[in-house]
Amino acid sequence: MQTNLILMQAAPKGDMTSMIIMMVALFAIMYFFMIRPQNKKQKEIQKFRNSLQTGQDVVTIGGIRGTIRSIDENENTVTLEVATGTKIVFEKSAIMPRTQEKAK
């Protein structure tokens, strides 16, 4: 028991510089693999929403697919036709680009 205590006290202590370098490296890794790609994706989605046009096929964040029939910039809403004669009004922020489905 005494020898363990003596060995623990004699163990070299790491300096703060190496710890700070490791923390900075960890933050840099998180930034380049998590934060930066998410910001890039958000900018692309915002660019898509700003370029919406009548007649464009889109999908909502709830999964409803439809075609844009009108856009109200003042209220920031989009009217989608989801079936013949069926129109639903959505917030512009609820619209996502329709993904291309692969042909089987």
Please state the domain extents for the chain: 14-51, 53-97
- pLDDT above 70 covers a percentage of the chain that reads 80
Amino acid at 103: A
Class of domain 53-97: mainly beta
Determine what percent of the chain is predicted with pLDDT higher than 90: 47
Read off the tokens for 1: 């028991």
Would you say residue 15 has pLDDT above 80?
no
What does DSSP assign to residue 92? Answer: G
Instruction: Please tell me whether the overall predicted TM-score, pTM, comes out greater than 0.75 for this model.
Output: no
What's the rounded Cα separation, in Å, for the pair 60 and 31? 29
pLDDT in tens, 23-72: 999 999 999 899 999 999 889 988 998 999 999 999 999 999 999 999 99
The band of 104, judged by pLDDT with boundaries at 50, 70 and 90, is very low
d(CA 69, CA 54): 5
Predicted pLDDT of residue 78: 94
- E strand or H helix at 4: helix 2-10
Q: How far apart are CA 90 and CA 60, in angstroms?
A: 8
